[in-house]
Amino acid sequence: MAKLNFGGVEETVMTREEFPLEKAREVLAGETIAVLGYGVQGPGQSMNLRDNGFNVIVGQRQGKTYDKAVADGWIPGETLFSLEEAAERATIVMCLLSDAAVMSVWPRIKQYLTAGKALYFSHGFAITWSDRTGVVPPADIDVIMVAPKGSGTSLRTMFLEGRGLNSSYAVEQDYTGRALERALAIGIGIGSGYLFETTFQREATSDLTGERGSLMGAIQGLFLAQYEVLRENGHTPSEAFNETVEELTQSLMPLIGDKGMDWMYANCSTTAQRGALDWMTPFHDAVKPVMQRLYDSVKRGDEAQIAIDSNSRPDYRVKLEKELADMRDSEMWQAGVTVRRLRPEND
């Protein structure tokens, strides 16, 4: 493993050069890997493992998602089974169900987690808040995690492009003495770019903070606030959307991702540079207290409980669809539909 220095903070990372695919295959030789759930992460992780030559099966309930698995080449009775049968057949059970689904099926799959098996997650939620989720693994199995830092769709797309999506990894319980190498081997097998060390608790708290913060919650709030101010001051929907969303996502974010914020600043106009540098601090000072409140709420388990309570309600899906429809039908995102239609690649 490599030790990298991030501004004076040393971190342990594993690269594909240090842990090549051939080694991952050797570590998992003789293992049967069952991917439970074919929703967000399941397709990307299972297909990448399959394409990389691992012995993979899928466990999924009947329905549209089951049909999608069949369409992706998983064969009922051979590589596609019920959740329970897949868990029984496997030596490594990859639990890629939603947090709510994990809680509901846990009593049914726990009995198949026999001595020496490994239980794998891509999110620390169920284990970190086990007092709320009821997910307490047996003592005689390995409990491991690899958490790709992006969607399952991105994981699959980048794999097909010959690239890798960075992932974190953790070992919560090492019964066999092989938990770490099992985790790293799967991390390489699913197509991770490099793997950095974490814990279930750190991954869960940072993930929930990020989703509610800069990755989704805060960015939508920021977009909407700027769009509303521009519209309320006479700017057209097209102008407001382009200045708020389109320029950021299509022009600036790729530069930031490729070269960093400083490089992006250096390659903008001097007017933009000066204004961005001057207004950066007021935005930071206004937002940081909100971010701290968010983190505290996550760390206390409040956000986990809110998610558990809301996802357990029988009308959750109906309410979710209504909230997403309200966002989709808002003027800002309807302007986005029109703007995207006018992009040159759509000609």
> Running along the chain, 347 residues long, what does each successive block of 10 average in pLDDT?
78 90 97 96 97 98 94 97 98 95 94 98 96 96 96 94 94 98 97 94 96 96 97 97 95 92 92 95 97 97 94 91 96 95 77
Can you give the pTM of this predicted structure?
Answer: 0.88
Residues in the chain, how many? 347
In this structure, the answer to whether residues 176 and 278 fall within a common structural domain is no
In a domain, 187, yes or no: yes
In a domain, 306, yes or no: yes
Tokens of 24: 């991952």
Whether residues 128 and 256 fall in one domain? no
Domain contains 204: no
Task: For 141-158, give the DSSP string.
Answer: SEEEEEEESS-HHHHHHH
pLDDT attached to residue 192:
95
**Position 49 in a domain:** yes
> Quick one: 195 and 230 in the same domain?
no
Backbone φ, ψ for residue 12 (5° rounding): -95, 125
Considering the domain architecture, whether residues 159 and 81 belong to the same structural domain is answered as yes
Whichever domain contains 232, its CATH number is 1.10.1040.10
Residues 265 and 123 reside in one and the same domain = no
Q: CATH number for the domain including 19? A: 3.40.50.720
Residue 251 sits in the same domain as residue 171: no
Give the model's pLDDT for residue 7: 77
Query: Do 166 and 292 lie in a common domain?
Result: no
Residue pair 194/168 in contact by the 8 Å Cβ criterion: no
Q: Domain limits at 117?
A: 2-199
237 and 193 in one domain? no
Domain count, the chain: 2
Domain ends where: 164, 199, 234?
199
pLDDT for 73 equals 97
Same-domain status, 194 and 217: no
| Active-site amino acid positions | 123
Final residue of a structural domain among 176, 199, 222? 199
Q: What one-character DSSP code corresponds to residue 215?
A: T
Asked if 62 and 10 sit in the same domain, the reply is: yes
Give the domain-ending residue among 199, 220, 244: 199
Q: Are residues 145 and 214 in the same domain?
A: no
Q: Per the structure block, which two tokens stand in for 183?
A: 């985790």
